[in-house]
Amino acid sequence: MRSRPSVSPVAGATVLHCDDLAVATYAHRTDRPHRPNRADRTDLADRADRASLPTATATVAAPAHAARPYLHPVRTLGGVTVTELRPADHPHHLGVSMAVPDVAGTTFPGVNFWGGRTYVRDRGPVELDNHGTQEHTGWLLRDPDGCVQELSWSRRGRELLRERRTISALALSDRAWSLDFTSALTNVSGEDLSVGSPATNGRPGAGYGGFFWRAPRPGPDEPAPDVFTGAATGEEAVHGRSADWLVLAGRGWSLLFCGGNAETRADPWFVRTTEYPGVGSSLAWERRLPLPAGGTTARRVITVVVDGRLDRPAAAALARRAVTA
């Protein structure tokens, strides 16, 4: 087992830019909550000066919800918010984050890095004192257009995973930008681990865990968002299936999720539109993902944030561009 690195306070927020436009603010447990300054309060109607409008903010959740860094709000270049934080239906849903509900070893039961209740075979969802936390331990890169950091995934002082996370923002057009999110998880526990989900623990179809994006719930008079891939349309048709890309489209916005490496493209998508709007890339859909001692698994999701609604041909073209940019 490796020695656990020291948890490092983060001095100030990291603001990511697409060219001269501030598109993401990434903050941590030790940061003060982001408060817009005078420049941030640019009127959304003023399209002449977009450089001062942050489109994403990241903070860390309370320990009761598996504290972890997350991005919220994420906005389109036109100012439409496309994330939701701590909704009443799932208060542990935290904008955009990397989270898994079950990390287990040979000498300890599953640790919940997702938040909320834990699904227990033959019992169902149960409130357990088993939540872990993700904490910042150091920057490897901190530039205007992206950052690379190391995080410690631990439970009561025992480090299980060490993550190298890369986040970057890139302008693709005057109505689209991409959020590139890469997570490399290394088992530093000193024993073999595996990643599970409610599905692997007996709840069919609930194979969530990994990169997850909670989108905003539509208004009372609005329909649920549409969802489609290159080959299928609708929640039932795309949920639990692999696809190179997937679109979730609401009123005035579209999110184009692209697998950035072969492993991610092979992972099934976890999709909700009717109960709530959310999309995730599933690490353990039907079977637990083994992670041997010292081993690393990496996933990369590139999300294109778009003003307006994409159709299938436009999504396919934009996906090719985003992945090769």
pLDDT (tens digit, 9 = 90+) per residue, 271-319? 999 999 999 999 999 999 999 999 999 999 999 999 999 999 999 999 9
How are beta strands 21-26 and 57-60 bridged, if at all? Answer: parallel
Structural domains in the chain (count): 1
Q: How far apart are CA 200 and CA 288, in angstroms?
A: 6
pTM of the model: 0.90
Residue 24 lies in a domain: no
State residue 166's pLDDT score.
Answer: 98
Residue 16 lies in a domain: no
Residue 20 lies in a domain: no
Q: How many helices (H) and strands (E) does the chain have?
A: 3, 21
State residue 50's pLDDT score.
Answer: 41
Residue 6 lies in a domain: no
What DSSP element (H or E) covers 264? helix 262-266
Is the Cβ–Cβ distance between 160 and 7 less than 8 Å? no
Q: What is the mean pLDDT of residues 223-227?
A: 98
Determine the 3-state secondary structure of 182 from DSSP: strand
Say which CATH number the domain at 255 has: 2.70.98
Buried b (16+ CB within 10 A) or exposed e, 178-208: bbbbbbebbbbbeeebbbbbbbbbeeeebbb
State residue 21's pLDDT score.
Answer: 79
Residue 191 lies in a domain: yes
Render pLDDT for 144-196 as a digit per residue (tens, 0 to 9). Answer: 888 899 999 999 999 999 999 999 999 999 999 999 999 999 999 999 999 99
Residue 264 lies in a domain: yes
- CA nearest to 256, candidates 322, 181, 183, 172: 322
State residue 53's pLDDT score.
Answer: 43
Domain that holds residue 292: 90-324
Residue 48 lies in a domain: no
Render pLDDT for 59-99 as a digit per residue (tens, 0 to 9). Answer: 555 556 898 988 888 889 988 999 998 999 999 999 999 99
**% the chain with pLDDT above 90:** 72
Residue 226 lies in a domain: yes
Range picked from 47-51, 75-79, 244-248 for highest mean pLDDT: 244-248
Determine the 3-state secondary structure of 237 from DSSP: helix
